[in-house]
Amino acid sequence: VNLPCGVQTCLCLAVTSAFLLPVYSPTPTPQTAEGPETLKFRLSGFPRKHNEGRIEVFYKGEWGTICDDDFSLANAHVLCRQLGFVSATGWTHSAKYGKGTGNVPIWLDNVQCSGSERSVSVCKSRGWGNSDCTHDEDAGVICKDERLLGYVDSNVDENKVEEVRLRPVFTIATKRMPVTEGVVEVKNKDGWAQICDNGWTPKNSHVVCGMMGFPHEKKVNKNFYKLYAERQKNHFLVHSVACLGTEVHLAACPLEFNYGNATESCPGGMPAVVSCVPGPLYAQSTAMRKKLKMPSTIRLKGGAKYGEGRVEVLKGSEWGTICDDRWNLLSASVVCRELGFGSAKEALTGARMGQGLGPIHMNEVQCTGHERSLWNCRYKNITAEDCKHTEDASVRCNVPYMGYEKTVRILGGRTRYEGRVEVLYTETNGTLRWGLICGEGWGTEEAMVVCRQLGLGYANHGLQETWYWDSSNVTEMVMSGVKCTGDEMSLSQCQHHRTVSCQKAAARFSAGVICSETASDLVLNAPLVQQTTYIEDRPLHMLYCAAEEDCLSKSAAKANWPYGHRRLLRFSSQIHNIGRADFRPKAGRHSWVWHACHGHYHSMDIFTHYDLMSANGTKVAEGHKASFCLEDTDCDEGVSKRYECANFGEQGITVGCWDLYRHDIDCQWIDITDVKPGNYILQVVINPNYEVAESDFTNNAMKCNCKYDGHRIWVHNCHIGDAFSEEAEKKFEKYPGQLNNQIS
């Protein structure tokens, strides 16, 4: 039986033999005398999952699409049930999953279902084959990933291309990761089949390379493969491919199948072979990595994995986001390839990777897919009224498969997101075994690498003792002294001891991690620092509590208390949480420290650190601030405050909120009493010891140019630490007198 049906009729599948198809105008009409037909349904184009895609109907022996005119969620409900799913969660218009190719008909137009129909054929429409649409208007559906009870999928398209791979044919190539060259193969039932290279073009290769996670293709020397092809018994499922080069999946290209089973016939007998150019992160030689530099005007932020995140672009000397109006896979793919990844898997809208902070530089970006840079695409400049950061655009790119997840595992936790870390190592006799990591020095940055390597998101904690996770018979420490920056793709790229050196070598002192799908992300409001900076000469008799909390420089201890004063560089700090999880102190309330002088609790020893440095980086003065009141001072529109310090309340910063430390609060300063006149750098670092996990630590530092004449201070060019463009850095270095007034 070929007709998927609703819950009410699924039990009748064994006895239902056919379904009579009437012809419909805008209102249902009686059945014609054409005789019974069999309907089938399938999802085509580029479905990111098996439960979404362009909807196609098999009618009169031919597959065709449905126009998006008058389409609704009710239509999608009916169609999803006919595909064997319980309901729909959404639908798409304008050929989001690609256009129907070739002479594919548009079978239905102006479909209007109530949602309860057992078949789309009983819904109102213009009638079968009666349409005024083009394939630019092909409709798609997104079904809930839950099958109907008793459903048997009779609509499997044996020739549907879902999985594609590059199979290397030389031994030396199989030992390298990632695989950049090989025979193109597509999944066929239980095996893999080749594509005939008859008429194969660089555009086809470009699409395949994009799927494999590579930005570009390169020419292949086919002579190396001819001998291989003659010795192999190839099975060709696809006879010809005609991509435009902008498709994000081979399934979106016009394909000519060898209908039925794969055959051995192919003019010339050669399978299609593709060679790809890796991006800079995946280049196998240092020289190639230097040659393939990452772009300096575009970046991804807030993603848990490489190749995903909120899209940010540099305009002038200021980073900003992109509004998601008209954001699609073509534009997302331009971003991905520009950054050295493949084509886009998803073009995400609605700030799915967190909200940015600062300007929104671009709106209604429209790329053709051929551009080398996002700046080459059509776009509109934006005004404050056009978009908000709730509409920030994001991407998920195809990245090369590296197999890193096979060399590490975590065991013993309550969920798959936590456990003791074990690494795969090779013994002297060549045997592979699992071993433990010494917990000494293990922290958040190391845990970040493990969580990313396993595809488990961000690190909540890096643990140095794991006695409560004893669920493995592995007891030997095989790695110690692990030190990561947090950016590595795998633990093998981090520094560690050549030979194991661990003072506490018992298994209970091995390293562990707790991972999370989301994390906080703190960013300082740099312009506010610039606007609020000033100097105050504060009498010593007003600084007793500050001295007790170590907020003054060392020379203050030798001062003639309570006479005299200290010169303080004061400013306000407004710290935003733009991540996807609340920022909470690492320590629970039971371990907070009460400070009687100021009458408050400290939930973190150092929440922010302040430094004044000379032009060559020498520190001339410093300050720090404990989190004595970490709370939601204010929030974005529509976001409610959750944390308030009063009455020993919970401390933290909610997503979309910020904590404001005003310039007139104790310790909100740097003691510059001993600093001589000159040109300096003011630096503020949030969460400097990485006590609390964040999705992005690179935006935790802010730097400003600073000129002090002994009486007044001028602060300008305040930027988040990693956000200096080359031009801004040059201006920074050429600041008048900066190099002539260095103070050690």
Closest CA to 100 of 131, 142, 145: 131
- Statement: residue 2 has pLDDT above 70: no
pLDDT band at 259 (very low <50, low <70, confident <90, very high): low
CA 383 to chain centre: 27
In the three-class reduction of DSSP (H, G, I as helix; E, B as strand; rest coil), residue 10 is classed as helix
Q: Choose from 158-172, 184-198, 323-337, 461-475 the range with maximum mean pLDDT.
A: 323-337
The pLDDT-based confidence of 613 (bands split at 50, 70, 90) is: very high
pLDDT given for residue 590 in this prediction: 73
- pLDDT single digits (tens) 537-554: 999 999 988 888 788 888
In 270-399, where do the E strands start and end?
273-277, 298-301, 308-315, 318-322, 344-348, 360-366, 378-380, 394-397
Is the pLDDT reported for residue 744 higher than 60? Answer: no
Q: Stretch 335-342: mean pLDDT, rounded?
A: 96
Residue 173 and residue 276 in contact, taking contact as beta carbons nearer than 8 Å: no
The answer to whether the Cα torsion of 239, 244, 246, 252 is positive or negative is negative
Secondary structure (3-state) at 98: coil
* Spatial distance between the Cα atoms of 602 and 354, rounded to a whole number of angstroms: 28
Compute the average pLDDT of residues 37-51.
77
As a whole number, mean pLDDT of residues 335-360 equals 91
The domains of the chain are located at 40-143, 163-280, 294-398, 404-516, 522-734
pLDDT of residue 9 exceeding 50, the answer is no
Across the range 139-156, mean pLDDT stands at 76
- pLDDT tens digit string along 558-592? 888 889 899 999 999 999 999 989 998 877 777 77
For residues 672-691, give the mean pLDDT: 91
Task: State the pLDDT confidence band at 289, using cuts at 50, 70 and 90.
Answer: low
CB 251 within 8 A of CB 162: yes
Average pLDDT for residues 105-124, to the nearest whole number?
Answer: 94
Give the pLDDT band of residue 256 (cuts 50, 70, 90).
confident
The rounded distance, in Å, linking the Cα atoms of 611 and 588 is 29
Q: What would the DSSP string read from start to end of 99-164? A: PPPTT--EEE-S-B--S--S-GGGSB-S-TT-----GGGB-EEEE-S-BPTT-------TT----E
Average pLDDT over residues 500-526: 91
**One-character DSSP codes across 359-396:** -EEEEEEE--S--SSGGGSEEE---TTT--GGGB-EEE
Comparing CA positions, the residue from 663, 518, 513, 509 lying closest to residue 581 is 518
Q: What is the CATH number of domain 404-516?
A: 3.10.250.10
Q: Are 278 and 267 in contact (CB under 8 A)?
A: no
The topology (CATH level 3) of 40-143 is Mac-2 Binding Protein (3.10.250)
Q: Cβ distance 482 to 496 under 8 Å?
A: yes
CATH among 3.10.250.10, 1.20.140.10, 3.60.110.10, 3.60.15.30 for 294-398: 3.10.250.10
Q: Work out the mean pLDDT of the chain and round it to a whole number.
A: 83
Assign 47 a pLDDT band (cuts: 50, 70, 90): low
Q: Is the pLDDT of residue 35 over 50?
A: no
Count the Cβ atoms, other than its own, within 10 Å of residue 537.
10
In 3D space, the residue among 609, 586, 614, 625 whose CA is nearest the CA of residue 678 turns out to be 614
Least confident of 73-77, 268-272, 482-486: 268-272
The residue-averaged pLDDT of 676-682 equals 93
As separate numbers, helices (DSSP H) first and strands (DSSP E) second, the chain gives 10, 40
Which of 242-256, 288-302, 719-733 has the lowest average pLDDT?
719-733
Q: Residue 562, preceding bond cis, omega within 30 degrees? A: yes
Q: Are 625 and 668 in contact (CB under 8 A)?
A: yes
CA angle (657 as vertex; 654, 663 as ends), nearest 5:
120
Ranges 321-335, 505-519, 730-744: which has the least confidence: 730-744
Instruction: Spell out the residues 6+ positions from residue 656 whose beta carbon is closer than 8 angstroms to its own.
Output: 355, 577, 578, 635, 636, 639
The answer to whether 163-280 and 404-516 have equal CATH topology is: yes
Structure tokens at 646: 């009063």
pLDDT for 160: 67
Identify the band that residue 38 occupies on the pLDDT scale cut at 50, 70 and 90. Answer: confident
* Structure token digits, residue 358: 């600062």
Mean pLDDT across 533-539 = 94
- Cβ atoms of 197 and 220 within 8 Å: the answer is no
pLDDT, average across residues 599-627: 80
What is the DSSP track for 512-549?
Answer: EEEEES--B-EEE-HHHHHHH-EEEEEEGGG-HHHHHT
Task: Evaluate if residue 8 carries a pLDDT over 70.
Answer: no
Cβ within 8 Å of residue 622, ≥6 positions away: 553, 609, 610, 611, 612, 670
Q: Are 444 and 458 in contact (CB under 8 A)?
A: no
| Percent of the chain scoring above 70 in pLDDT | 86
**Confidence (pLDDT) at 205:** 96
Averaged pLDDT, 154-163: 60
- Looking at CATH, the fold of the domain delimited by 163-280 is given as Mac-2 Binding Protein (3.10.250)
pLDDT of 293 strictly over 80: no
pLDDT band for position 455 (50/70/90)?
A: very high
What whole-number distance in Å separates Cα of residue 692 and Cα of residue 519?
A: 10
Q: pLDDT per residue over 367-406, tens digit each?
A: 999 999 999 999 988 765 678 888 999 999 999 999 999 9
Instruction: Say what the pLDDT of residue 726 is.
Output: 38
Res. 16 pLDDT band, cuts 50 70 90? very low
User: Cα-atom radius of gyration of the chain, to the nearest Å?
Assistant: 31
Indicate if the pLDDT at residue 75 is higher than 60: yes
Percentage of residues in the chain having pLDDT higher than 90: 47
Q: How confident is the model at residue 17 (pLDDT cuts 50, 70, 90)?
A: very low
pLDDT reading at 14 higher than 80? no
Q: Are strands 216-218 and 255-257 parallel, antiparallel or unpaired?
A: unpaired
